[in-house]
Each structure stands twice: as structure tokens, then as C-alpha cells.
Amino acid sequence: MKNKARHGCLTAWLIYLIFTYSVMSLILFFNSGKAPEDTTENMVLLMGSVGILNIFFCILLFYWVKLGFWGILGTNLISLTIHIINDFEISHSIFGMFCLIALFGLLQLKKNNVSGWKNLE
């Protein structure tokens, strides 16, 4: 296994994503009783579980596993679908897609003339 180097911006972004997904999941799990009237508790728990999956996928990216990126893409699409079906505020899903686009862009940054995307296995 060769020594892989990660760009500092990518590392900072992954840490930010893990922190954000952790905080949002905790808020969803512990404030599910205070959800808006049109939101069921199961839907809030589902969204919290999606956040936990995103944390797992970010950790996979730390270990250079390409499945992490595709997993985050999949959970963002699931989140977008849930928001559209239930008439939730769609700005959260749009922000999630922005984070995914930023992640893809940061994976293109090179360290030692190799991009992060090429380091993914």
C-alpha cells in the first residue's frame, strides 16, 4: 500500500462534515418530541439515521474508500426525496447537495501531484 497524502482543505472539510452530521443527528434524535406538527416522529428518526450514515461514509473517505463518496451522494438523494415528498423545507437538502459538490471539488485538489479522487479505492 502506497503512502497517500490528503490535501489539508479536504481533511478540514471531512472534519466539518462529521461534526455537522453529528450535531444534526443529535438534535434530531433528542428533539424529536418537539418536531413540527406535520412531521411524524418516525420521519425525524429516519432523517437522524441518514445523518449517522453520513458520518460513517465520511469516515470511509478518511480511509480512502470510494464507497464513502457514493454513500453520501445516495443519502443526500434520499434526504432530498424525503423533503420533497413531505413538503419539508427544501433548503436543507439544497445545502446538503452543495456540501456534496464542495466535497467532490475538494477531492480534485492535488497533493504530491495526485488528486484525492485518484487516491480513493
- pLDDT per residue rounded down to tens, the chain (121 residues): 467 888 889 999 999 999 999 998 898 888 755 656 666 777 878 888 999 999 999 999 999 999 999 999 999 998 888 888 877 777 777 888 898 999 999 999 888 888 888 888 8
Other Cβ atoms less than 10 A from the Cβ of 62: the count is 14
Other Cβ atoms less than 10 A from the Cβ of 31: the count is 11
Q: Is the dihedral of CA 21, 24, 27, 33 positive or negative?
A: negative
55 is a domain residue: yes
49 is a domain residue: yes
48 is a domain residue: yes
44 is a domain residue: yes
When divided into structural domains, the chain yields a total of 1
61 is a domain residue: yes
108 is a domain residue: yes
1 is a domain residue: no
Residue tagged 453520513 (cell numbers): 54
3 is a domain residue: no
Measured between alpha carbons, how far is 104 from 78 in angstroms, rounded to an integer?
18
pTM: 0.86
Which residues make Cβ contacts (< 8 Å) with residue 115, sequence separation at least 6? 107, 108, 109
| Domain around 71 | 8-119
Among the listed residues 116, 83, 117, the one whose alpha carbon sits nearest the alpha carbon of residue 97: 83
